[in-house]
Amino acid sequence: MFHLHPLSERWSRAMNRMAARRAAMSRPATAFISQPEPRSIGYLARGRQLCAGNFVFAGSLVQAPETSIWDIEPPDAAFAAELHGFGWLDDLAAAGDAAARERAQAWLWEWIARYGKGTGPGWTPDLTGRRLIRWISQALFLLRGQPSEASAPFFRSLAQQTAFLSRRWQAAAPGLPRFEALTGLIYAGVSLEGMQGLTEPARAALSRECERQIDAAGGIPTRNPEELLEVFTLLTWAALGLSDSGQSAAEAHWRAVERIAPTLRTLRHADGALARFHGGGRGLDGRLDGALAASGVKTRMPDGLAMGFARLSAGRTSVIVDAAPPPKGAASAGAHASTLAFELTSGRRPVIVNCGSGASFGAEWRRAGRATPSHSALVLASGSSARLSNDARHLDWLSEAPVNVPATLSKLSDGLRFETAHDGYVRGHGLTHVRNLDLSADGRGLAGEDMLLAVAEADKRRFDRALDGTRLNGVPYDIRFHLHPEVDASVDMGGTAVSIALRSGEIWIFRADGEAALSLQPSVYLEKTRLKPRATKQIVLSGRALGYATRMRWSLAKAQDTPVGIRDVHEEVLEPEAED
């Protein structure tokens, strides 16, 4: 997410308020000329929770039965943003019964009464775009059973929000917020009477944003896979909305969709979920499949990196590796120090993971989740491959950030090999981290090799100084393998291996060669849909670099006699997109 200077933020809020109040004088729309069908996915369980007065947004729970959604006190700005974005309309529509409709109608008309004149935190371009998409696409659900006079304030508010958006969409930060604003403007232009003249300017602006924000390989500056999915979803919705009204998306818009689709296929694991890197989660259930199906794009990424990530896949196993430097500049606000970290999924079961984003649990968790120790990667001297500054929103790219990250993916007679390295530890310790991964052809084994090398003479001198600082005891390192909370892990007798049992019945065995000490330690799994971090474990290989070359070998292999769960086999057959 892009962050403004505090003075700029205050100025932007003031301009939004002025634009919202001016928009209140706009000529109201009176009817729909067309209406895009609902394409966003709602969840029955969440709809029922809302009806019961359990408000779960942005990682916080407020329990207030028989209370209006606008009478509860939001615990933070993120919670308030989700309220005013109206994404919860999809959940109430999924519930679909009379109680859910009554709440949706009451809360929407109450929003108009309280905030419709331009007040409240919902008057930002991105939230207004998000809100317009929901109001328009769920209009049949909202207007059903309402008296004819109730439609007047509804259409008047739609027109006001559209007028506001036409004046303020450019104030949205580049990236996802601006895509939300422009998609909402297109929805209004193709749907509302009297707003047709806004469609072409919004269509052209969206085309320009696609050219600026979507690179030639279908990636975005933040390198956040879930954010890429959200952008892709908005682009497909906008294209379909234009098509439904007899218009077409611009050429650059379609080309961006065609570039993003194969990148997302590379970034998804064998279970259909996205890899969790740079603040992104697994993605809402069904969102990726729905977006790919709606796009109609069937192509795959050719061999190589996708948005800086490599994917190794064989049998029922997928491995996704962060093989590029972290994002820089404005895109770094949500970036993680995760270079060379990887995740592994077996069939429908995540095994090796990253801790994830702690943003919904407060500043300290957010900062911890961004550091290298929260990733399945090598950590040198208890630090990070990219240092975090005192401002928890940004990474300090001026010290020890990886710059050079060479990567090669090759096919072997018995599987796939991925070779990569990064120089994030060179400046402080003179050491380059090299990671090689070999995935067997049947997907039943992953062999890894991590090396710490002092390559150039200047690097050797840096390492000598770092070694002197330890009184020749060696520079400490840890290689961390965070485990998903739904696996059971135990150290075998003798402490030479770790058994990892999946709920499918599969057993994986982790082993390590060399002098590094193997241990099983506490870890956490951070999910924005949860109210608190989930406890889990991590495998840690600990040792000390004493020379110019330190090598650590390890392996993760499926036990030969391990059964495959019947449910997993059934689900795998039903997921053609995950491994089509």
Q: What is the pLDDT of residues 430-445, one digit of tens each?
A: 999 999 999 999 999 9
DSSP 507-556: EEEEEEESSPEEEEEEEEE--TTSSSPEEEEEEEEEEEE-SSEEEEEEEE
Task: Name the segment(s) of the chain with CATH classification 2.70.98.70.
Answer: 331-558
The band of 385, judged by pLDDT with boundaries at 50, 70 and 90, is: confident
The band of 207, judged by pLDDT with boundaries at 50, 70 and 90, is: very high
Residue 295 has what pLDDT?
A: 87
Residue 29 has what pLDDT?
A: 64
Contacts of 502 (CB under 8 A, 6+ apart): 346, 349, 351, 486, 487, 508, 565
Place of tokens 């820089």: 328
- Is the predicted pLDDT of residue 2 greater than 50, yes or no? no
pTM of the model: 0.90
Residue 259 has what pLDDT?
A: 95
**19-23, 411-415, 533-537: least confident range:** 19-23
Of all residues in the chain, what percent carry a pLDDT higher than 70?
A: 88
DSSP 334-392: G----TT-EEEEETTEEEEE-----GGG-HHHHHHHHSGGGSSSEEETT--SS-B-SST
Mean pLDDT over 188-198 rounds to: 93
Residue 20 has what pLDDT?
A: 63
Mean pLDDT over 229-249 rounds to: 94
Here the tokens at position 231 are: 């952008």
Mean pLDDT over 44-58 rounds to: 93
Q: What is the CA radius of gyration of the chain?
A: 25
Mean pLDDT over 377-404 rounds to: 70
Residue 393 has what pLDDT?
A: 47
Mean pLDDT over 522-529 rounds to: 93
Here the tokens at position 222 are: 């933040």
Alpha helices by DSSP H, listed for 250-313, are 251-266, 287-295
Residue 284 has what pLDDT?
A: 84
Here the tokens at position 132 are: 């317009």
Residue 576 has what pLDDT?
A: 36
Here the tokens at position 575 are: 């997921």
CA distances from 396 to 123, 194, 308, 508 (A): 32, 49, 20, 38
Residue 388 has what pLDDT?
A: 64
Residue 333 has what pLDDT?
A: 85
**What phi, psi does 320 have (nearest 5°)?**
-125, 130
Contact 319, 439 (CB under 8 A): yes
Residue 580 has what pLDDT?
A: 37
Mean pLDDT over 354-372 rounds to: 92
Residue 14 has what pLDDT?
A: 67
Whole-angstrom distance, CA of residue 112 vs CA of residue 423: 54
**What phi, psi does 521 have (nearest 5°)?**
-125, 160
Single out the residue of 272, 392, 418, 404 nearest to residue 336, CA to CA.
392
Single out the residue of 253, 152, 248 nearest to residue 199, CA to CA.
248
- Is the predicted pLDDT of residue 19 greater than 70, yes or no? no
Phi-psi region of 400 (alpha: psi -120 to 50; beta: other; left: phi over 0): left
pLDDT tens for 90-147 read: 999 999 999 999 999 999 999 999 999 999 999 999 999 999 999 999 999 999 988 8
Whole-angstrom distance, CA of residue 188 vs CA of residue 201: 12
For residue 55, list its beta bridge partners: 62
Mean pLDDT over 240-244 rounds to: 92
Contact 487, 349 (CB under 8 A): yes
Whole-angstrom distance, CA of residue 51 vs CA of residue 43: 13
Degrees to nearest 5, angle at CA 422 with 329 and 302: 85
Residue 191 host element (H or E):
helix 176-191
Of all residues in the chain, what percent carry a pLDDT higher than 90?
A: 74
Mean pLDDT over 458-481 rounds to: 96
pLDDT tens for 393-432 read: 444 443 457 999 999 999 999 999 999 999 999 999 999 9
- The amino acid sitting at 204 is A
- Is the predicted pLDDT of residue 570 greater than 50, yes or no? no
Residue 488 has what pLDDT?
A: 97
- Is the predicted pLDDT of residue 282 greater than 90, yes or no? yes
Enter the CATH code of domain 331-558.
Answer: 2.70.98.70
Whole-angstrom distance, CA of residue 165 vs CA of residue 365: 34
The band of 23, judged by pLDDT with boundaries at 50, 70 and 90, is: low
Whole-angstrom distance, CA of residue 556 vs CA of residue 575: 25
Longest dimension (CA), the chain: 82
**27-41, 116-130, 338-352, 374-388: least confident range:** 27-41
On average, the pLDDT of the chain sits at 89
The band of 382, judged by pLDDT with boundaries at 50, 70 and 90, is: confident
Here the tokens at position 161 are: 């929000």
Whole-angstrom distance, CA of residue 558 vs CA of residue 510: 9
CA distances from 319 to 295, 537, 556 (A): 26, 19, 12
